[in-house]
Amino acid sequence: MSKAFEGLRVIDTTHVLAGPFASYQMAVLGAEVIKVEAPDDPDQARMQGSDRKLSNDHMGTAFMAQASNKKALALNLKTDSGREALKRLMATADVFVENYRPGAFEKLGLGYEDTVKLNGGLIYCSISAFGSAGPRRTQTGYDNILQAFSGMMAMTGDGNSGPLKCAAPVVDYATGTTAAMAITAALYQRDHNGGRGQFIDVSMLDVALILSSSHVTGYLWNGSHPEQKGNRFPFATIGHYRASDADMMIAASNLDQQRRLWTVLGREDMIKTNNDQRLDGHAEEAAVLQSIIETKPADYWETFLGEQRIPASRVRRLEDALADPQVAARGILHKHQALGSPIDGLTVPVAAFSMSESKPEVRELPQPVGAQTEELLKELGYSGDEIKAMRLEGAIN
């Protein structure tokens, strides 16, 4: 079976993380993704990551995490010929993704209303901090800004820590995933509506609020504001405990699980028959549970409780999690083989799902800025002389 998005062309003018991740998810499912960057001002993620030399070479690990399977086209959209080249490219595309400040592409004559005239079937996806409508539409922001603005940081941490952002850029990745899902839905709809494209507006703020859905609903129902609770949950049988050698999480979440937990621990006297009793008995239960858990190592409790179908896990560092055989069994990671290349052995996540007939996969290395510029321009019908003129104008490098 062919790949899910095989035969589709995606133009990706985004930068940093959310937008590039959206197009990356399409790329691992077979789409031809063309990343468009300014020759003298490429994606800032190229200069970021854990390896300074790679960052200085514009191939930072922060960029390469979602850059595989993409072609690289360098165009200066401040020039007439650069904009014209992008229009020609958009006329051949199925999807266009951008994450500049709302209105920026309209000023260049590259907004949805402009480009739909060139390609009525184009799915045009705009990603921004606050969306393309509303009083804050022109404000910019990154993952940490949206975690702060949305209320997410204020509810994260404990009474002593102050507000904390999530260490992983969850709003960025969730925004990229949301955009990919929206694009997929629009492509499906196009196939059932005579080939007509549409505009997609993705807001990082909207995504952050969706990630907090249960808290939003609770607050809007009775004004119960989600305060900082650290690792504390409403029920004591869910939460953080210190084993004899390490921290761990236990999740005897429902009534049946808490009954099994107290039974296997020999404390049937702590079993509750309803959740109100569990709420009221939190302090006593937490003290009893801590006194038991601290007597044995975390690995023991993982195994013992797991056998009783009670979720439990030692708090692992990333290196420990990646070394676990479960990760290898899932095939979520791809290791590039590129003898002689400075990124030989680069390992990147692929996708958080598998498909029986057309699995997501990585085939091509992340590309330097503009690596396929001339190739793509020639494909669009540009002659050697025209390409030379574009280079003189500063439209390409």
Catalytic residues: 172
Q: Are 174 and 115 in contact (CB under 8 A)?
A: no
**What's at 339, amino acid-wise?**
L
Query: How far, in Å, CA of 379 to CA of 76, rounded?
Result: 18
In angstroms, the CA 329 to CA 326 distance is 5
Q: What is the radius of gyration, based on Cα positions, of the chain?
A: 25
- Report how far Cα 392 is from the mean position of its chain's Cα atoms: 38
Which amino acid is residue 299, in one-letter code?
D
Which residues sit opposite 11 in a β-bridge?
A: 34, 96
How would DSSP label each residue in 145-180? HHHHHTSTTTTSS-TTT-----SS-HHHHHHHHHHH
CB contact at 8 A, 249 and 239: yes
Q: State the Cα–Cα distance between residues 62 and 370, nearest whole angstrom.
A: 18
The separation between CA 88 and the C-alpha centre of its own chain, rounded to angstroms, equals 30
**Which pair of tokens denotes residue 182?**
């929206």
Residue 354 near residue 364 (C-beta atoms within 8 A): no
Residue 293: strand, helix, or coil: helix
Tokens at residue 122, please?
A: 């184009």
- Measured at the alpha carbon of residue 117, what is the angle toward residues 111 and 122, in degrees to the nearest 5? 70
- CA 126 to chain CA mean position, Å: 16
- 63-76 burial by CB neighbour count: b if 16+ within 10 A, else e? bbbbbbbbbbbbbb
